Structure 1
Amino acid sequence: MLESPVRLQALRNPVSALFLALLAACGGSVGPSPVVNDPLAITVQPSSAVIYPGVATNLLITGGTGSYVVTSDNQAAVPIASFAVGHTLTVIANPVLADTVVTLSVRDTGTAPQKTATLTVKPGTVQNLITITPAAPDSCKPGVCSGEEALVSTTIAQAGIPLPARGVRFDVISGDVRFITTPVGTTPERLELTTTTVSDQAGVARARMRVLASVPSQAALIQITDIESSAFQRVAVNVVQFTGVGNAPFFTVPTSITFTGPFLNVCASSPSTGVAVFGGTPPYNITPTAGVFVSPSVVTASGNSFVVGVNGSACLENIPIAITDAAGRTITFTITSKAGTATAPPPAVALIPNSFAIPCGGSVSSAITGGTAPFSAGTSHSRVTAAVTGRTLTLMRVTGDPVPPAVFPTSGTATVTDGTSSASATFTVPANCP
């Protein structure tokens, strides 16, 4: 069983805890009972739930010491990561092929009995294959022309079995595309950011989409959601600015890229991506900008790609890269590398110094660096004690060994942990201290 520690700090406001309990009820199939905050018992609400891949489900953990370690008996299906805020643990399942039962075990840093929650992970219902069929498929291939209509379709199924009469919602997440909500042939069309439909007998759900007229080439993003399960898939739509027959569009897929670093104030390290060039008159010459690299610098045929990336961990914003075709036309690809939003985890626990010689009745100290308080410590030697005060570890070789003199080990190890990482120090001591 793989284990990932998740530390949850206790809420002091019972009203806030009750509010989170109500939120947890919305995330699972079983509603929780009223909040229980018993220092001698751990409560997990709901204790069982049906969840779907990619859909967040909140569990409310209360009671015990307020600091918990959560483990999953199937890390492949339900990985446990630091998705916790206060008493709320957010669980997001991975895709599965069949109904998969996963048990989460919760224990605290004290002596409260372990508590479990049972999650049933069901296969996602929105298939990965989403088809976008333009009304004029050859005009802006492989994209959809500006002003053009296209049909978006997918199959709603579970474990390979189609789900007919299923409510399905289509949403525009970004980009200059809209869904047509009026019947075919109706004038004027009504265009919306959201539309709902029902899957047919084969489980297929369809929606008509319109790219807005005269919009520039871009990558739009749409989302298809199975309303009953909240499972969803997203797909990018390659929008191509159509300039008319005989004047082939010239564009890249994607039209821009943004790299995001892992933590606050930290940008991505040497990120790169592939960019495909279509249309125009090949070959295409790629001109990099300072801080950015491209390879190769010449793309020989429409549909071929080049790699663009950032040198090192530089932070960049909307840096242009010029792409010029053989006819002298130039378009611009932009690249951005920005810092992330997550807080970097503390460094692992370490001890400085980490090697000692301790005399009879004497004590030594070591500074604890990294990690997150509180810390706990212990030793492998029955006559050497360990105590932690703040970020200081103190080791002592006690006296009063049994008479006649007993011989104890002359070396040992002390270990300090914060529950997430640990560090060790070695020591030597006399064999006997009367």
Structure 2
Amino acid sequence: MSKNLQAIRGMNDIRPTESPLWRYLEGQVSRLLDTYGYNQVRLPIVEFTELFKRSIGEVTDIVEKEMYTFADRNGDLLTLRPEGTAGCVRAMLEHGLIGGGQVQKVWYNGPMFRHERPQKGRYRQFHQIGVEVFNLAGPDIDAELIILTWRLWGALGLRDAVTLELNTLGTSEARARYRDALVAYLEVRREQLDEDSQRRLTSNPLRILDSKNPDTQALLVDAPKLDEYLDDESREHFEGLKARLTAAGVPFVINTKLVRGLDYYGKTVFEWVTDKLGAQGTVCAGGRYDGLVEQLGGKPAPAVGFAMGVERLVLLLETLELIPAELQRNVDVYLAAFGEPAELAGLALAERLRDTLPSLRLMVNAGGGSFKSQLKKADKSGAELALILGDDELANEQVAVKPLRDDSAQQTMSWNELAAFLAARFELA
């Protein structure tokens, strides 16, 4: 017997019962970004591997261990995108959208791919919503990105569940000085480091600050601190950001060990974290990457952005039971008709209702069936009301309205009255 086909491990189906919450979340984000003046860009899922090596960094965990890379039929080395920023920068450059200091505020969404160990909230195919801004260098735009996420958490009811962590990484020159000091401190303590940190000591030492190993964290207590090596420009930028967040009423904490996992970050970095999901605590993260455009072949251009994990935000909404009541059902009204004349009249009536009430969620029975079987399907659909059309109703151009979720009485009304009744019942404009 042949083996049953299954999805690849860590790459999950979004089932029909789950997709309404995804659509709700994505809709909240897209509407919010519209109000702030951001435009959507749609990017390829596959890019040349060199793009990620040059942007993310060849000695990062992502490039070394996690990317899905393959040669196509032409022999070109391609990679399923592990993150969205590099592809967005490539698109801006390729289409001349940021040359001459043009300001671009864009966002994108879709699947990303990393070969990690699948666990709750972390998958091999995962979905992100990313936001990027080009050619604005001041702390005001950093603040705007953070403030709009704070507004999103308010719309979703998540403000009490998330905390904003902030840090500044300084300029590349400041980080280089700090890197030398940190390596010198850790080199004489190499044997006390965990295996990952020993490897990172020569490749990406700042990532050691983010180690989850408690012994390594204990060792870092007396290590040199990044803020001791910051340049004046970065300090001023960071103070400007903090002042704007305070003015907007956005609470934050400073985390001097926050470095992010990608090489291209500098100056501002931030994460929105939660303690409601166990170990998978980051739901949104980003920062400034002023050198990346030049690194990928363009003229120098300041840039800043963030990405939020859709799976983790969906999981957080589910965990905190913040799913809007209207998402618990996908049908408002179910129309049951008995006999072909009633079915034909019911079809016409349903389309008239859709013309008059475009947002009404109306399902018409298909496949025939007895009175009992059609009402059973109406109940299973989750609808609040069943509209019943039989010979008597057809003869009088009426419809019976039967409540399915409470004990209120069934009533009969004319076809002309029905639209107004449903508009009032479901508060439809």
Normalising by structure 2, we get a TM-score of 0.24
Higher helix share: 2
Normalising by structure 1, we get a TM-score of 0.23
Larger radius of gyration: 1
Higher relative contact order (CA 8 A, sep 6+): 2
